Structures are given as C-alpha cells and as structure tokens.
Amino acid sequence: MTVNTGQLGRLLFLAILLCLLLGSLSARLVELQVVRHDKFKRIAEWNTQSFSLREPRRGDILDVNGNPLATSVPVKKVFANPRFIGERYPEVARALAPLLSYSEAELAMRLRPIIVRTNEQGQAVTNAAVNLKRKLSVEQWQQVTQAMTQLDFNLEGRKLSRGEKAFYRTLRQKAVYPIDDQQRIYPSKSLAAHVLGYVQEREGETNNIAVNELIGRDGIEAWFNSKLTGIRGWRVTEADNWRREIVVYREQEVEPRAGLNVVLTLDLVIQHIVEAELAEAMKKHTPISASAVVVRPRTGEILAMATLPNYDPNQPNKAEMDTMRNRIIADTAEPGSTFKIVVISAALNEKVVSLTDIFDCERGHWQFMGRPLHDDHGGYGSLTVEDIISKSSNIGSAKIAIYKLGEQKLYDYIKAFGFGNRTGVTLGGEVNGRVNKFKDDKLMISRVPMGQSVSVTHLQMVMAMAAIANQGKLMWPMVVNRLQDQNGSIFTQYHPQTVRQVIGEDAAKQIIKALKLVATKDGTAAKAALDRYTVAGKTGTAQKVIDRVYAPGKYTTSFMGFFPADDPELCISVMLDEPKNGHYGGEIAAPIFKAIAEQAASYLKISPDRPEPGAEVIAAGTAGERLSAAANND
C-alpha cells in the first residue's frame, strides 16, 4: 500500500495533535493531583466531611454543704435555614413568634430567604443559617418542635408531588434546628455575689469553627475558670449534600469532659444571715457600704463574706460598676482603734509590758513632737494596759509604742500580722494596703498605734484578729474547700495552712483577757455582749482620709470579735463606711456583730461557755429548797 505525501502529513498532524492533547491532559492531571492536591482535598473534605465541636458543661460552685451557688443548665441555641422554608416563612413566623418572643412581622423578616450569591450554574443561593434565639430552655424547645410538626399549610385535600412532599417534610423536621448550649444560673441571685463573680459569653474560633464559651469574670468564676470550664469534645463524620450527618460513617467521637465543681468554705445559711443583717444596717444607717466576714480562727475557713450594696450575677450587665467591687479585699482604709491589737500584742509578746502596767493617759490630751493626741469620751488619767485596750485609749497605745516597743519592732510586727501584703485569698482584685517605714515620718509612731498613717483591707484586719484568737497563729484565708468531679470524687482537697506564728500563746492569752473587757458594760462595745458566750473583741472608729486630709464628720466604723473567747469557734468582723445616726463602732457595728453571732451560734450549735441567764438564780433557789427541806426533816 502506497501512502502519499498528503496522507503522511495528515497522520503526522494527527499524531502531533494527539500528543499535544495527551500532554495537556497529563499537565492538567499533574496540576490537579499534585500541584493543587491540598486545595481540592480540603474542598472534598468540606463537601463530604462534617467536623463539630462539643462544648463541656461548666462545673458548679457549691457551698460547704453542697448547696448550689452557681450552676449550668442545658439550653438551646435556635437557628433557622431559610432555604428549607422558602416562601412559607409567613406561616412559620405565625406559629413560632409567641414561642420565641418575637413579633410576627419581625420573625417573618428573619425567616425570609435572602439571596447571598450566585453559584457556578448561575443559580441563586439563599442564606442557610439565621440565629433566632440564644438561650431557649429545653421545655420551650419542645414547644417549638411541636409547633413545627403541626404546621399544615392548608395542604389538606391537595395531591402533592414527590418533591413537594420532600419539601414539607424537610421544612417541618429540619428548617428550624437547635444547637446544645448552657446557661449559667445563680439560684440565690445576689447572695455571695462578690465571692462567686459572674460569667460572660465570649465568641471565638477553633479550627475555623465559630464557638461561644463562658468566661469567668471576678471571684471564683474567674480564679478557677480553667477548672470550671472543662475540656471540649469533637465529632468527625460524613455528611450528605445537605450537610446532614450520615451516622454510619461517623469517624471520631470524643465526649466532652465536664468542668470540675468548686466546693467553697462558705455556708449558705451563715451567708444569708450576714447579708440580711447588713441589709438592715443599710436601711438604718444608710452608709456608703456595709461589709462583714465570718471566719473560723483555727483553720482560716471563711464561712461568710459579704459587702453591700451588691449585684445579681444573673444580670451583670444591669449592675453598676461600683456595686461589683469586692470592697473587703479591693478597698483599703485606715483601721482606727482595731489596730491597737497589733501594738498591745506586740508589746506583750516582747515582754516589755504586762497587763497590769500603768500609763498616764494625760486626761485625754497629750503633745508629741508638737502635735496633739486626743482620747475620746473626755479622756482618762492613769490606765493599766488592760484598760488601755478595753477603753481604747489612743494616748496609752501611743506611749506603749513609743517608750516600750520602738519603731523597728512595731514595724516588724505590723508586717508579721500580714499588713502591707496580700493575704493570698483565692479571689481576684485583692490589694496590698499600705505600710510605710517609720523613718520617713517621726510622728508616725504616735499615729499608727491608733490606726492612722496605715491603710489595710477588711480581710487583712479580720485575719489579724483571728490570729490572736488562734493562739497567735496567722492562718491563710480559705474560701475553697475542694475541687471535685461531677460524681463527687475529690480532685483537689485544700487544707488549712499556717502562715506564721506572729505572737506566742502566752501573749495571745493575755491580750484575749483584755479584749474580753471590751464587750462588757465598762468597755467600748457593751452592745456586742452575748448571753451564753464570752466575747473578746475590739471597736474601731476611724476618721476618713479624703485627698490626704481627714474629712470632718466622715468615719469608717467597725467591730471585730470572736467567741467563745477562750476556745473560739468564730471570728466576726463588721465594717460600715460613713454610717449615719452615729459613728462609734460600739454603737453602730457591735449590735450587728451580736445579731450575726447569735444566729450563727444557734445554727452551728456552738457549745456555750456561760450559763443561761437566770440559771444561777434557779440553781441557788433549788439548793435553798433542798436545805430547807433537810432542816424540816431534822
């Protein structure tokens, strides 16, 4: 067979053309399979694979007896897919508006399909996800699903095509759908709000997936946020063209791990007692604020910590910033006469004075370095050290500091009691307070003993008083008892910790003996006395410093004490900022202490150290009757 030149040329052309086509196809295959492999792999995975995060339940905050103070309840985030609703959005809006707290017109606008783009085939693509409700209870969601399944669209009697049947089935079952969520609830509302703190919802992104997480703000919620949060789970599975899971092809299923529960040392009942009494004080004396702390001296466990005004952590966005501050640890003030316990206990511990030593208190007026120092209540003449405490003599305390203790020793004891440093309580926002070196101001040694020229937090002051009650041992303030999982198994147990031995047991016993006189008719806090318990305590009335000047008529008033005095179970401190209708600690704060102490003692069943009033008379009468009967028998 002879092949002419024309045929040969055509064959050659076809061969070249075929080679070019095959080369082009090979190049395209290389581009798709090698160069752009990762891109198309991601697209394929996005089209066929579904990855979802599973949020863990936030742990609870419980009181020492297991009562919930903060808990998380399951709720639903409700979304709608307008693609599945189509032109039927008015009917859906009419059915769901009352259940989702929308007006019918507003919900209809949200459910109406909106064109967001055009696909490669030129078809309009509508929006596929509309957030309808953030926090819907499980019961409310059940009402929504029931309303969706009962939608009839006036279809009765109509003959529907297969496609129409599929459309309405999808609309009823898939058009409105939930995502599991949780809501933080504080069952007792504002109770212990400054200890608990609150949470905020923060939007974020993990693996290109939008997530909302609860973040602790203030208090225990913030301090233990990582423990409360838990660990996310996830699910990797295959999805169909509608992005619905094909369960049989589920590849990974990792359950979320719930957060730990934080069990506090707070007692819900005592916290309620304290806040109720402070609320009464707010009504009666209208101070800027009123605060109280109840602590076990031997362990440092805080049973109650409250400051008013407060706020509802369920609605932190409605609270004023000033009410959200935990003044007990975040505010400082000059302590006033309660600070005398530091000076007297230091001098007793150094054995430079005894309770019977006598000091001339100058009838209430004394000059030191050309500056006057005064005592209230008309002043006193000669007082023993014991009386200097019970009658709260500024002059007597100053003389002990100046002539017996000295600047360096006094400064060392102030620091040893914990002033000028944070206590380390597991709550955010704590401040150091202020303790200056005496060398900077030679007048300071006469002022510090009466609680001036030094600033402290309420918590620092009550822990110092608790140290005296605890045989001179300063304890770390405990707010958290333990961390435990959802089954109650203990993850971390916290134990009482001694910070240091500030004064010896003998010195502690001596100052306690003096502090017992404070809550008697001859002391400054007769209104703090309890019928069945011996109280040891100290009053404080400090003139406020505003812009570095003592403000006339403005006082911080306090009383802190413990009982039973020789074997103390509770130490209670009460402080009011600028009270009206009086300002002395013995008149204003002491009755609040008494009211809290009586109720707390009854609730905790603390054994009395004094006989019931009238018991001595009854006992004497009974003994007399026995003697009379015996005489008659004779």
Q: What is the pLDDT of residues 401-455, one digit of tens each?
A: 999 999 999 999 999 999 999 999 999 999 999 999 887 788 999 999 999 999 9
- Is the pLDDT reported for residue 631 higher than 50? no
Q: Are 254 and 235 in contact (CB under 8 A)?
A: yes
Average pLDDT for residues 295-306, to the nearest whole number? 98
The band of 41, judged by pLDDT with boundaries at 50, 70 and 90, is low
pLDDT digits (tens, 9 = 90+) for 332-352: 999 999 999 999 999 999 999
Q: Please write the tens of the pLDDT for every residue from 502-522.
A: 999 999 999 999 999 999 998
Residue 513 to residues 319, 383, 410, 622: CA-CA distances in angstroms? 45, 16, 21, 33
Between 125 and 288, name the one with better pLDDT: 288
Distance in angstroms (rounded) separating the CA atoms of residues 129 and 126: 10
Query: Residue 350: is it exposed, middle or buried by C-beta count within 10 angstroms (0-12/13-18/19+)?
Result: middle
CA-to-CA distance for 325 and 603, rounded, in angstroms?
29
Task: Kindly state the tokens that stand for 565.
Answer: 């005095």
Top-confidence residue, 13 or 428: 428
Tell me the domains of the chain and their CATH numbers.
49-116+123-264 (3.90.1310.10), 268-604 (3.40.710.10)
Phi and psi (nearest 5°) for 454? -145, 140
The better pLDDT of the pair 329, 29 is held by 329
Percent of the chain that is helix, strand, coil (3-state, to 5):
40, 25, 30
Task: Please state the rounded mean pLDDT for residues 475-493.
Answer: 96
For the chain, percent of residues with pLDDT exceeding 90: 68
